[in-house]
Chain A
Amino acid sequence: MTLPVAVVIAVSFAYLGVLFAIAWYGDRRARQGRSIISSPWVYALSIAVYCTAWTYFGSVGRASVEGVWFLPIYLGPMLAMILAWVVIRKMVRIAKTYRITSVADFIASRYGKSPLIAGLVTLITVVGIVPYIALQLKAISAGFGLLTGPSDPTLTETPLHWWQDSTLYMALALAGFIILFGTRHLDMTERHEGMVAAIAFESIVKLVAFLAVGIFVTYGMFNGLGDLFGRAMNDPAMQQLLRFDHGATPHLYSQWFALILLAMLSVLFLPRQFQVMVVENVDERHLKRAAWVFPLYLFLINLFVLPIAIAGLIHFGPGQANPDLFVLSLPLAEGARWLALFVFIGGLSAATGMVIVESIAVSTMICNDLVMPALLKTRRFRGRSGGDLTRLLKSIRRLAIVGLLLLGYLYFYLAGEAYALVSIGLISFAAVAQFAPAALGGMYWKGATGAGVLAGLLVGFGLWIWTLMLPSIAKSGWMATDFLEHGPFGLSLLKPEQLLGLSGLDPITHSLFWSLFGNIAAFVAVSLYTRASAREASQALLFVDVFDRRGGSEPVFWQGQARVDDLVNLSERLLGRDAARRLFQEHARDIGVASIDAIPADARLVQRVETRLAGAIGSASARVMVASAVDEEPLEIDDVMRILEEASQLRAYSQALEDKSRSLERATEELKTANQQLKSLDRLKDDFMSSVTHELRTPLTSIRALTEMMRDDPDMPAAQRQEFLTIIVTESERLSRLVGQVLDLARIEAGHAEWHNSDVDLYAIVKQAMASISSRFEEKGAALELCGDSRLAPLRADADRLVQVMLNLLSNALKVIPAGSGQVVVDLQENSDGVTVTVSDNGPGISKAEQAEVFDKFRQVGDRDQHREGTGLGLPISRQIIEHFGGRMWVESEPGQGATFGFQLPRNQQPVTGKPA
Chain B
Amino acid sequence: MTKKILIADDEPNIVISLEYLMKREGFEVLVARDGAEALQMIEADPPDLVLLDAMMPKKTGFEVLQAIRPTHPGLKIIMLTAKGRDTDLEKGRALGADDYVIKPFSTRELVERVRQLLDQSGAETET
Q: Which single residue of chain A is at the shortest CB-CB distance from B20? A: A709
B-chain residues with CB within 8 Å of residue A694 when the two chains form the complex: 55, 82-83
Q: Does A638 contact B (CB under 8 A)?
A: no
**In the assembled complex, A864 has its CB within 8 A of some CB on chain B:** yes
Report B-chain residues with C-beta under 8 Å of the C-beta of A704.
104-107
Docked complex: B19-41 residues within 8 A CB-CB of A: 20-21, 24, 33-34
Please state if A713 and B24 are interface contacts (CB–CB under 8 Å). Answer: yes
B14 → chain A, closest Cβ, in Å? Answer: 5
Most chain A beta-carbon neighbours within 10 Å: one of B84, B104, B107: B104
Name which of A98-106, A362-370, A695-703, A764-772 contacts chain B.
A695-703
- Contact residues in B for A690 (Cβ distance below 8 Å): 83, 85
Interface contact B18-A697, CB-CB below 8 Å:
no
Contact across chains for B103 and A697 when beta carbons are under 8 A apart: yes
Pair A705/B10 contact, Cβ less than 8 Å:
no
> Which of B33, B55, B57, B105 makes the CB contact (< 8 A) with A705?
B105
In the complex, B11 has a CB within 8 A of chain A? yes
Which size bracket describes the interface of B in this complex?
A: 20 to 34
| B85-121 near A? 1/0 per residue, CB < 8 Å | 1000000000000000011111110000000000000
B12 at the interface (CB under 8 A from A): yes
Q: Is A736 an interface residue when CB atoms closer than 8 A count as contact?
A: no
Assess whether B127 is interfacial by the CB under 8 Å rule.
no
Bound form: Cα–Cα A699–B17 in Å: 11
In the complex, what residues of A have CB within 8 A of residue B16's CB?
702, 706, 727
A868–B105 CB distance below 8 A: no
Residues A839-869 near B (CB distance < 8 A):
863-865, 868
A816 CB to nearest B CB, Å: 15
Question: What distance in Å separates the Cβ of B69 from its nearest Cβ neighbour in chain A?
Answer: 24
Within the complex, which residue of B17, B24, B34, B83 is in contact with A702, where a contact is CB–CB below 8 Å?
B17
Shortest C-beta distance, A737 to chain B (Å), equals 15
Cβ-defined contact, A705 with B17, below 8 A = yes
A703 touches B104 (CB 8 A): yes
Is B17 a contact of A700 with CB atoms below 8 Å? no
Give A605 to B48 CA distance when docked, in angstroms. Answer: 88
Cβ–Cβ contact B83 & A693, under 8 A? yes
Measured between alpha carbons, how far is A305 from B24 in the docked complex, in Å? 118
**A709 touching B21 in the complex, CB below 8 Å, given contacts A693-B82, A702-B14, A731-B13:** yes
B84 and A701 form a contact (CB under 8 A): no
Residues of B within 8 A of A698 (CB): 11, 14, 82, 103
A865: B residues at CB distance < 8 A: 12
Interface flag for A633 (CB, 8 Å): no
Q: Given contacts A694-B82, A864-B57, is CB(A701)–CB(B14) below 8 Å?
A: yes
CB nearest to A703 among chain B residues: B104
* In contact, A708 and B108 (Cβ under 8 angstroms): yes
A694-B55, A698-B103 in contact; A705/B83 too (CB < 8 A)? no
In the complex, the answer to whether B21 meets A868 with C-beta atoms within 8 Å is no
A682-722 contact mask (Cβ, 8 Å, vs B): 1 or 0:
00000000100111011111111110110011000000100
Contacts of B11 in A (CB 8 A): 698, 701-702, 864
CA distance A695 to B82 in the complex (A): 8
Question: Would you call A705 and B18 a contact (CB within 8 A)?
Answer: yes
Contacts of A702 in B (CB 8 A): 11, 13-14, 16-17
A720 shortest CB reach to chain B, Å: 8
Q: In the complex, how many angstroms separate the beta carbon of A267 from the nearest chain B beta carbon?
A: 77
Asked if A910 lies at the interface with its beta carbon under 8 angstroms from chain B, I say: no
Contact bitstring A720-731, B, C-beta under 8 A = 1, else 0 = 100000010011
Q: Which residues of A contact B12 (CB under 8 A)?
A: 865, 868
Q: Which residue of A lies closest to B80 (CB)?
A: A701
17 extra A-B contacts, CB within 8 A, seeds A693-B83, A864-B11: A690-B85, A694-B82, A697-B82, A697-B84, A697-B102, A698-B11, A698-B103, A702-B11, A703-B104, A704-B104, A704-B105, A704-B106, A705-B18, A705-B105, A709-B21, A709-B24, A727-B16
24 contacts between A and B (CB under 8 A): A693-B83, A694-B82, A697-B83, A697-B84, A697-B104, A698-B14, A698-B82, A700-B103, A701-B82, A701-B103, A701-B104, A705-B17, A706-B13, A708-B106, A708-B107, A708-B108, A709-B20, A709-B21, A709-B24, A712-B108, A727-B13, A727-B16, A731-B13, A865-B12
